Structure formats: structure tokens, C-alpha cells
Structure 1
Amino acid sequence: MSKESKLREEICTVGKSLYERGYTVGSAGNISARLEDGWLITPTDACLGRLDPAAVSKVASDGEWVSGDKPSKTLALHRQVYDRNPGVGGVVHTHSTHLVALTLAGVFNLEGILPPITPYQVMKVGRIPLIPYRRPGSPEVAERVAELANRVRGVMLERLGPVVWESSVSKASFALEELEETARLWLMSSPQPPALDASALAELEKAFGVSW
């Protein structure tokens, strides 16, 4: 099986898993992967739970639609991430319930939608900034992502959902899931827990080479 075929299968496997566990519904969300000669991205208005590997869109490095169904309109946003991070191999965007609810209720702050409350949040996700609401597909969102893409591992689009990137599609999905779980813990806790203190953060940074 070629590398491209494996990536097509990975996109479909991850999409189905996210959909079946309620991380996205209907035709919301999209997934992309880097190729040597361009990108793969889920088609526009596709259900992540019912993806066909052959129908996943292929787009060349110059932006030309090569094969598969019509590519998602969010490709411009994904490309901002890839263009600024040579090590990024996959980008995942969902409309995850607890993260969207967090933006409706009020995030911790604009620079970090959640305080560092669990070690795996710090290790696997890091600080996630909020991008204020703009309509889906707005070029302003892509411009803001371009400013942040090489400083963080993801962003939160107000009222829409998280966009998370990593070295592979699967790893991007794992980080997104960790972020959604942290939002769920934060929203369900009363009183809300204190953040990990400076010494705990410093220990995690030293042991795992991460930065909060």
C-alpha cells in the first residue's frame, strides 16, 4: 500500500472514530494530511463517520484540485498551518460539544482557553488561544491562524470548534481528544479546580520537553 493510500485510510479511520464518539455530528468538521506533492483533505460537506478513502480530496502544492470529491473550503486555513510548520503532518477540526460550550460560557482567557489543570493537557496539548467568532471559511480566521501556527499546537474557533495539528492525523486527533476531555472536566467541576502551580509546570517542562 502506498503512503498516500495509507493516509487516506488513516483519515477515514480517525474520522469514523471521532464521529462515533460524538466529537462531531452531521457533516461538521474536517481532516487533512500532508503529502510530498500537496495535501489530502476531507471533501466539503462530508460526514466524518462515512468517509470513502477514494473520495478524499487530493490537492496539489499549487492549490489545484487533483482528485476525489470537492475539497473542504477550510483548506486555506489548513495550509497556513502546513506552510509554517514543516513537521506538521495532519490537521483535525471538529465541533466538539464541550469545547464549543466553553466558548459560549466564557473561556479562561484569550491566550489560553483553559488553565493547566491536568498533566496530560500540558504534555499533549499545551496552551490553546481563542480566535474570536468569524463566519465559517472567513479569510480573517486563516490570517489569524497564520500568526499563531508556529507558536501553538492548535486554536479554538469561537462557537465553531478546535483546530489541532500534529506530526500525523492520529496524533492531532489524540491531542484534540485530550483538549475536549479537559474542557469537559473544567465545565463539570464545581468549584472549578486550581491550575497546576509553577513548580508542577516546571517539572513537566523539564521531564517531557514541553512548554506551557
Structure 2
Amino acid sequence: MSESKLREQICEMAASMFARGLTGGASGNISARTEDGGLLVSPTGSSFGSLDPARLSRFDERGMLIGGDQPTKEMPLHSAFYETRGTTGAVVHLHSTHAVAWSMMPDIDPENLLPPLTAYAVMRLGKVRLLPFFVPGDPAMGDAVRGLAGKRSAVVLANHGPVVAGKDLEAAVYAMEELEETAKLALLLKGHQPRMLTSGQVQRVVDKFDVDWD
């Protein structure tokens, strides 16, 4: 995809997420790999509802800022996924309501945050890791992601929000939407003893779609 089209796609998909209430105000950030190995990143303090394609932060393949506005302060999160998961073509970080709420529940499993409610959550996300609370912009967030050694494509920062990496922008956005919807389902079903996928059903999905599940 040409850089101009990628710029437009970033802004269009960000605006769609904003319009549907997945992240509000100037929260959230997004990045995508360019054909030459660089990155396009949403600027700091920007709103998903009004990103300007011409003002996206532009990094070269060495990680040097070469154009656009100053990038999001959450660059350590993005860089960590690109460094540890070679298949990463885009990263999305939101402050989506249900994922944040689920991260605060007292009885969740930090190693496998979301219950196995749907096949698509397993397919698109694999196991989602809950990371501790960090002050926004703290480089330690990136260190925490690097500590996973590329084994997770999706994490949720406690009391903050989810971060998802995908092979391209569409994959990252769709996986993020799946994460938020699964967290919403989990909250709706909490206390109702729902029929979740069995371990055997999960394994069939993992095997068929080659999902990271270790």
C-alpha cells in the first residue's frame, strides 16, 4: 500500500473507532509500518476523530522522526511490539470502556485475561495478558511488553487500556474491536455462569487458525 493511502486509512479507521465511542477525547494512539520499513504514528495530544493525514508523525526505518508532528508519548508500547513481533504491521492502543473495566476486576487471570466466550476472540487475540498499572508515557510499559518476548499480540494495561498488534492496520483494528466486545460480553455475563468454550473447543480453534496459545 502506498504511503498516501496508508495515511488515509489510518485516519479513516481512527475516525470510525472514535465515532463508535471506542476511545474518546485525545485518548488512544495508532501506528502502522510503511513500505520502506518506517512508521506512521498518531501525534501526541491528537484525537482519533480528527487526525490529519499530512500531520502524522513519520519515522524512518532507523526509528528517527523525519516528519509530521511530535508522536504519541506511548511510543515505547508501539516500539516494543515492532521489535519483538516480526509480523507486526500495525499497533492500536485505546482507552476503551469495557476492556478498562474488565482490567479492574479482582478475580481475573492476568495470564489469560479474557474468558473463552467466542471463537473469534480466540482467533484474533490468542491469550491476552494483563500488565500492571504504569503512569502514561512511562518507558517501563515498553519493557513489560518486551518481557513477553513476542508471545502475545494483545495486552491490557491495568486501569488504562488495551494494546493490540496485527499484521496490518485492518487486522490490528479488528482484533482491538474483538477485544473490546469480548470484555463487554464478560461484564454482561459476570455472575450468570455462562456456557463458555470448553478447553477442547478452544484447542480446535487454536489448531485450525494457528493461534499463539502457549
**Could you tell me which residue of structure 1 aligns to residue 7 of structure 2?**
8
Measure the CA separation in 2 of the matches of 1:188 and 1:88. 32
Q: What's the C-alpha RMSD, in Å, of the aligned pairs?
A: 1.5
- CA offsets 1:21-52 (integer angstroms, 9 cap, x no match): 00000000000011224211000010011011
Where has structure 1 moved over 6 Å in runs of 4 or more? none
Report the Cα distance in structure 2 between the residues aligned to 1:45 and 1:107, rounded to whole angstroms.
34
Preserved CA contact (<8 Å) 2:115 2:186: no
> Following TM superposition, by how much is the alpha carbon of 1:63 offset from its aligned partner in structure 2, in angstroms?
3.1
| Alpha-carbon offset, residue 149 of structure 1 | 5.2
Give the CA deviation at 1:196. 1.5
Report what 1:118 is aligned to.
Answer: 118
Equivalence for 1:24: 23
Where structure 1 has 5 or more consecutive residues not aligned to the other structure, the ranges are: none
State the alpha-carbon separation in 2 of the partners of residues 14 and 192 from structure 1: 35
The superposition leaves residues 163-187 of structure 1 with CA deviations (integer Å, 9 ceiling, x where unpaired) of 0000111110100100110110110
CA distance in 2, matches of 1:164, 1:149: 15
Distance in 1 (alpha carbons) for counterparts of 2:172 and 2:107: 22
- Distance in 1, matches of 2:92 and 2:162, equals 8
Which one-letter code corresponds to 1:125 in the other structure? L
Q: Which moved more, 1:77-86 or 1:161-170?
A: 77-86
Mapped pair 1:144 → 2:183: no
TM-score (normalizing by structure 2): 0.93
TM-score (norm 1): 0.94
Q: Deviations over 1:84-134 (max 9, x none)?
A: 222211000000000101122336211011121111111111110011101
2:60 corresponds in structure 1 to: 60
Structure 1 equivalent of residue 197 of structure 2: 196
AA at the equivalent of 2:180: E
Q: How does 1:42-61 map to 2 (within 5 A)?
A: 42-61=42-61
Counterpart CA distance in 1 for 2:176 and 2:107 is 17
Q: Tell me the CA shift for residue 188 of structure 1.
A: 0.8
Equivalent position of 1:101 in the other structure: 101
> Which residue does 2:80 correspond to in 1?
80
CA distance in 2, matches of 1:144, 1:64: 23
Give 3-state SS (helix, strand or coil) of 2:102's partner.
helix
Question: Unaligned regions of 5+ residues in structure 2, if any?
Answer: none
